């Protein structure tokens, strides 16, 4: 084996030991691209590599950069700011294509794609007394602890989740009154359809709709899971039937064009991430909460809102999506209305602007949406041993063997100590994919 092959093996081992973040959760526009923390870059990575490498395995920066870019589909920082990969692919196809007929079809398809994206945002921009716009999205997971140590990049961490809800159009100013952030950590619960549905249900149930409001428009994140979509629609049907003010006549749900889903909550997240980047040490969830509090009304899981098992109840009540009266998967817009008897009907549309579908009920025979009474789920989970070990090691390196006597680290001391007593197991969804994961994965 040549000298360079040896170096390559070392770089490979090093890079593959990094802990990456999947591109923004469920965004399937670039499924194989993964991301490193935004405060890391190739130069820093090269430094870390050389620090740990044996003298004869050290490499020059340009060599490392070349190897890294050629072999790995890894980016840095916030994936949301990336250009739409569908658009990029079309542009490339149009540029390369030599057959005029084929070229024209690429041009047309790309145009349809961008027009769809434009109409999504046109709806989000609208503002009137009759319509209430609500958009929501998950911020990328924030790590606990956040330390300036290089080692923190390689350690497991506890994920802090922030689910942002903005009430108003994309032109509305962002204030604490119309921005809500639902926060929790993976110690409390995972980030799956039940948590998201419960947070939105909480917003709908506590927001004071005006008497002039007739239509609610919900703009969802890029979260594509069909399962999640149906649980969400089911929750909405239940709220519409049982809890909505009588002046609400219609609920419209918009799912964005993949790759074009930058929404009002992302502006809030961007501001929060700026503060996070400037902060060297973050050692407990309340530090994140304090940063968010300046920009939003914060609702803490288990304290300000509860999590309900919508998933189990909705699955029992609604027909499987394959038996709905329209094609569920391509539907980008769902319209919920009521018939004269007050029964909720659902219409699914593949386009934002053309109403082609029929409104019908989606419940199983003999089931009624108003009968759905989801159980409250317990907040508080057990953390896996390997995660505790990894975080303990990180804290030891940074604060010394006696880290537990450091008051600033009480958060970790307390959850590690109580983890043993905590005797109920993590209730992982049967379908692992259900957990909305921009959880760390290995490359």
Contacting residues toward Zn ion, per CB under 5 A: 84, 86-87, 259
Coil vs helix vs strand at 362: coil
Nearer to Zn ion, 117 or 167 (CB): 117
Please answer whether residues 81 and 24 qualify as being in contact, where contact means their C-beta atoms are separated by less than 8 angstroms.
Answer: no
Give the residue closest to Zn ion by C-beta: 84
* Among 33, 2, 34, 30, CA closest to 18: 34
Neighbours of 260 (CB within 10 A): 19
CB of 325 vs Zn ion, minimal distance in Å: 30
Q: Within a 10 A sphere around the Cβ of 83, how many other Cβ atoms?
A: 10
Closer residue to Zn ion in complex, CB, 259/374: 259
Report the residue number, 31 or 400, with the smaller CB distance to Zn ion: 31
Residue (110 or 319) nearer to Zn ion, CB:
110
Strands (DSSP E) contained in 318-368 are 333-338, 344-349
Q: 112 or 356: whose CB is closer to Zn ion?
A: 112
Q: Are strands 34-36 and 19-22 parallel, antiparallel or unpaired?
A: antiparallel
- Output the smallest distance, CB 423 to Zn ion, in A: 49
Report residue 129: phi and psi, to 5°.
-70, -25
Four-residue CA torsion sign, 395, 38, 23, 281: positive
For residue 109, the minimal CB distance to Zn ion (Å) is: 11
**Shortest reach from residue 414's CB to Zn ion, in Å:** 46
| Minimum distance of Zn ion from residue 84's CB (angstroms) | 3
Closest CB 419 distance from Zn ion, rounded Å: 44
Assign 95 to helix, strand or coil: helix
User: 30 or 241, CB closer to Zn ion?
Assistant: 30
* Packing angle, helices 285-293 and 264-278, rounded to 10: 120
| Residue 86 or 139 with smaller CB distance to Zn ion | 86
Mapped onto helix, strand or coil, the DSSP state of residue 35 is: strand
DSSP 8-state class, residue 168: S
Distance in Å, CB of 93 to Zn ion, minimum: 13
């Amino acid at each position: 084996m040549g000298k360079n092959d040896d170096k390559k093996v070392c770089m490979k081992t090093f890079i593959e030991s990094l802990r990456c973040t999947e591109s923004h959760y469920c965004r399937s526009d670039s499924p194989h691209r993964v991301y490193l923390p935004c405060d890391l870059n190739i130069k820093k990575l090269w430094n870390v590599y050389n620090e740990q490498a044996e003298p004869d395995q050290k490499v020059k920066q340009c060599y490392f950069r070349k190897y890294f870019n050629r072999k790995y589909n890894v980016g840095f920082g916030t994936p949301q700011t990336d250009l739409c990969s569908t658009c990029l692919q079309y542009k490339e196809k149009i540029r390369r294509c030599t057959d005029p007929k084929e070229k024209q079809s690429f041009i047309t398809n790309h145009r349809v794609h961008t027009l769809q994206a434009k109409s999504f945002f046109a709806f989000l921009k609208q503002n009137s007394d009759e319509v209430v716009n609500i958009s929501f999205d998950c911020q990328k997971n924030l790590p606990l602890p956040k330390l300036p140590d290089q080692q923190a990049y390689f350690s497991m961490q506890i994920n802090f989740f922030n689910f942002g809800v903005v009430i108003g159009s994309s032109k509305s100013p962002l204030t604490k009154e119309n921005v809500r952030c639902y926060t929790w950590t993976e110690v409390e619960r995972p980030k799956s359809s039940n948590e998201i549905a419960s947070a939105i249900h909480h917003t709908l149930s506590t927001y004071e709709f005006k008497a002039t409001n007739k239509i609610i428009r919900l703009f969802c994140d890029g979260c594509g899971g069909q399962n999640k979509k149906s649980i969400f629609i089911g929750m909405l049907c239940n709220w519409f039937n049982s809890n909505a003010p009588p002046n609400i006549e219609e609920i419209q749900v918009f799912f964005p064009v993949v790759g074009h889903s930058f929404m009002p909550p992302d502006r809030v997240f961007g501001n929060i991430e700026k503060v996070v980047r400037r902060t060297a040490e973050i050692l407990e969830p309340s530090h994140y909460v304090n940063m968010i509090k300046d920009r939003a009304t914060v609702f803490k899981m288990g304290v300000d809102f509860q999590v309900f098992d919508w998933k189990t109840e909705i699955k029992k009540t609604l027909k499987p999506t394959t038996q709905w009266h329209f094609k569920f998967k391509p539907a980008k817009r769902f319209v919920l209305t009521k018939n004269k008897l007050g029964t909720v009907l659902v219409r699914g549309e593949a386009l934002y602007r053309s109403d082609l579908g029929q409104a019908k009920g989606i419940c199983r025979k003999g089931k009624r949406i108003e009968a759905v009474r989801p159980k409250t789920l317990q907040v508080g989970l057990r953390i896996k041993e390997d995660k505790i070990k990894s975080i303990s090691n990180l804290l030891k390196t940074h604060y010394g063997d006696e880290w537990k006597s450091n008051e600033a680290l009480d958060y970790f001391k307390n959850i590690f100590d109580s983890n043993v007593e905590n005797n109920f197991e993590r209730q992982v969804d049967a379908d692992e994919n259900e957990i909305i994961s921009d959880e760390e994965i290995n490359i």
